Amino acid sequence: MRKPLIVGNWKMNNTLQESLSLIEGLISNRLSVDRDFVVCPPYTVLSLAGKLLKETKIQLGAQNMHFEEKGAYTGEVSALMLKELDVSYVIIGHSERRKFFGETDLQISKKIFTALNNELLPIMCVGESLAQREGDYHHRIIKKQLVEGLKLVDSSRASDVTVAYEPVWAIGTGKTATSEQANDMLGFIRTILINLYGESMAENIRILYGGSVNSSNVDELMIQPEIDGVLVGGASLKSDEFLKIMTYSDRG
């Protein structure tokens, strides 16, 4: 049985003081031991967040990293730097990184390889655009992203990777895939992972859904058999809303 994982991606939001208030609102509440929780603040907040989250149920994640451990890469952050700040997870290949910064499947593969080598747990994002889905070649896109992005991941390390399916057309738009659409795609992703790593290993890989997740749709999403958790964007920026997501079904 895969343990559910709830991840909050704050993106380029929250000053230090705003982050402090948000984190204090999250850690002041009792959280289930049957789930894993991660928050991914901006780089400027990671040091403070790491101190506040120490010895709590919530783990610290970063939103990106470079595939080299050091060098002349102005503006970039390395896995070694993240480890010093008690970062456990790192988001890799988010659609906004692919779209706005031109990240390729090869770069994403290298980042995942470096993350694993530095004992960071990568959350690899895949997803299709609206045109790709309406053109009925979204499965081909997702398969390519998975196969190319995981090409440097040995089967012995595959279960340390989390895959997050985020349909690009549902990120920050207020639209969301139906729970059935999300479940079907995650099932397809699981099939690809089985082909890559074998059934026993693939069954240990957590697959998340992301794309306008909120407290109103999280329960319906999380009852789907293939959905192991959610990657939350805007709804993770308010402690009350994110707590409702973190405590899905407990509220019923």
Residues belonging to the active site: 94, 166
Contact 239, 25 (CB under 8 A): yes
Give the 3-state DSSP-derived string for the chain, with helices as H, strands as E and coil as C. Answer: CCCCEEEEECCCCCCHHHHHHHHHHHHCCCCCCCCEEEEECCHHHHHHHHHHHCCCCEEEEECCCCCCCCCCCCCCCCHHHHHHCCCCEEEECCHHHHHHHCCCHHHHHHHHHHHHHCCCEEEEEECCCHHHHHCCCHHHHHHHHHHHHCCCCCHHHHHHCEEEECCHHHCCCCCCCCHHHHHHHHHHHHHHHHHHHCHHHHCCCCEEEECCCCCCCHHHHHCCCCCCEEEECHHHHCHHHHHHHHCCCCCC
